Structure 1
Amino acid sequence: MSTDFQQARETLGARLRELRTEAGLNGKEFAEALGWQRSKVSRLENGKQTATTADLEAWARAAGAHEASGELRGRLRGLETTYRSWRRQLAGGHRALQEANAVQEMEAETVHLFESGIIPGIFQTPDYARGVLTDVSNRIGSPSDVEEGVRARMKRQEALYQPGHHFHALIWEGALHVVRCSPESMIAQLDRLAGLVGMDTVTIGIVPLGVRTPFSPKHGFWIIDERLVIADTWNAEVWLDSSEEIAFYVKLWDQIRNSAVFGHQAHRLIGRARAHLSPT
């Protein structure tokens, strides 16, 4: 999948290749100078592996380009924190973005996610998704291909039924009370969520309102195979793949999990939200 992140990594790789060729060394000679496998040089130059700060400093030394070390570190910082505005991502419409998300989810074996104000997209019903995408389209001014976006979002749910995949979802209880569609459709959405509790490929925990927590629910985030974190803000996604950032979010997810309830207790909280919509 072509992404801003991958394009930036390939651009960094091209710069590394340029420094090596300017030094007059082929890949084999350069790898020997660094004490690396030749395959590592190839992966870095072709954007197949993310360099570390130590890799870049060693590369600059081996190329005799010490002055390039600061430039390379700056490129890496930009790569590790990739800002992708919703306006830019949705310029091609909702369908394209949903299909890109589907690729991430189908390729992942394990996804850990937290949502503080919305039912996760992969669990949404068509009516709920329609309400969400319509609101986004109105707010961002994106192309109005909402129906195509809804169909693509529903297709994403195929990953829930694929062997070898597992989704570990934590949802703030408040998200169950944020109505993004008609009351009747919201009830159907809550029923859908309740029906997913206990699936072999899905673990759902609800963080109750009023529980003592060591955190505030600032934003949602997804951890993809512990190799990539995608964090949502109001106007953008931030993609993080440095080991330090991933470790931070894994630790945060574990803390949130300690405050969540599962199984029967999760059903009870979903039922409580449903009762507010249908008091009779």
Structure 2
Amino acid sequence: MTQVHKAREALGRRLRELRKDAGLTGRQLAESLAWPPSKVSKLENGRQTPTDADIVGWVRATGREGEAEALLAALHTLEVQHADWRRQFRGGLKAHQNELAAYDARAGLIRAFEATVVPGLLQTDEYARGRLAQGVELFGAPDDIDEAVRARTRRQEILYRRDKKFHFVLTEAALRFRLCPPDVMLGQLDRLIAISALPNVRLGVIGFDDLYGVAPWHGFWIFDRERVVVETYSAELNLAQPAEVALYEGVFDRLAAVASYGRAARAVVTRVIDETPSS
């Protein structure tokens, strides 16, 4: 169970305590708030994240308005840990890119593993355009793709800072998935070869013939030893508990250990280029 799930369940337990202290059944509380009875159960058991309005209504109905501040603080901490994309993109795609740039700026060492896509810091403008368009298509985000692409390009300037270190590990599958037209992908692959020569960047590629020490379930980013970011279809997970960070560090090390680097990595990329049809 992740820390996010634990935090949601802890918040639910506190809400249940307030209801029981008020002598209300779940149905009575739901009726007082004009909610379906199932909503109370979902909130108390951590199966649904409450909104600010839910918290305010709950404490009023149970006569515990004094608990609102602490409960809202717990909710907002949970929202940072589990940031759903619809909420993330309310301010536009550019705003989210600027938030990511702030994470980049604070970290001295950034490690990233990607199984299906090229990492954002390594993307060409055209490849990035396709990836960012997904936010508009899936979540109805404001269509500021041009501004977001420019913001992502500005983020990449950090790759040339000698006080920063980067370690990227990609699967060969990430180089071959057709997420963009062939000519765009060829430009992206050329960029990977160029970036692999930067002195503060380690670029590893796990080829199809390499034996994995741990399954590549999903991509993730590690910022120093303080924070892990995992992107799912629905949300961005931010993990900061030492045990979770240590686990992901161990997984990264095992993935990195089987990757090829330097000339061997560039040879994999070059082979993919040779096998990618031009448009």
TM-score, length of structure 1 as denominator length: 0.70
1:270 and 2:269 are equivalent in the alignment: yes
1:222 and 2:224 are equivalent in the alignment: no
User: Aligned ranges for residues 1-280 of structure 1 at < 5 Å?
Assistant: 75=74, 79=78, 82-278=81-277
Which residue identity lines up with residue 131 of structure 2 in the other structure? V
Q: Distance in 1 between matches of 2:223 and 2:214?
A: 22
**How far 1:81 moved relative to its partner?**
8.2
User: What is the CA deviation profile of residues 218-267 of structure 1, one whole-angstrom value per residue up to 9, with x for unaligned ones?
Assistant: 11111101111111111111111111001000000000011111011111
Q: Distance in 2 between matches of 1:80 and 1:142?
A: 18
Say if 2:126 and 2:184, in contact at 8 Å, map to a contact too. yes
Q: Distance in 2 between matches of 1:93 and 1:210?
A: 41
TM-score, length of structure 2 as denominator length: 0.70
Query: Are the structure 2 counterparts of residues 81 and 146 from structure 1 closer, same or farther at C-alpha, using a change threshold of 3 Å?
Result: closer
Q: SS state of the match for residue 90, structure 2?
A: helix
Which residue identity lines up with residue 159 of structure 2 in the other structure? L
Q: Which runs of 5+ in 2 are unaligned?
A: 8-66
Q: Distance in 2 between matches of 1:104 and 1:135?
A: 22
Q: Distance in 1 between matches of 2:257 and 2:185?
A: 27
Q: Which runs of 5+ in 1 are unaligned?
A: 9-67
Q: SS state of the match for residue 91, structure 1?
A: coil
Which residue identity lines up with residue 268 of structure 2 in the other structure? L
Q: Distance in 2 between matches of 1:154 and 1:214?
A: 34
Query: Are the structure 2 counterparts of residues 164 and 181 from structure 1 closer, same or farther at C-alpha, using a change threshold of 3 Å?
Result: same
Q: Which runs of 4+ in 1 moved over 6 A?
A: none
Percent identity over paired residues: 35
Q: Distance in 2 between matches of 1:140 and 1:97?
A: 14
Query: RMSD value over aligned CA atoms?
Result: 2.6
Say if 1:231 and 1:238, in contact at 8 Å, map to a contact too. yes
**How far 1:135 moved relative to its partner?**
2.6
**How far 1:138 moved relative to its partner?**
0.8
Q: SS state of the match for residue 83, structure 2?
A: strand
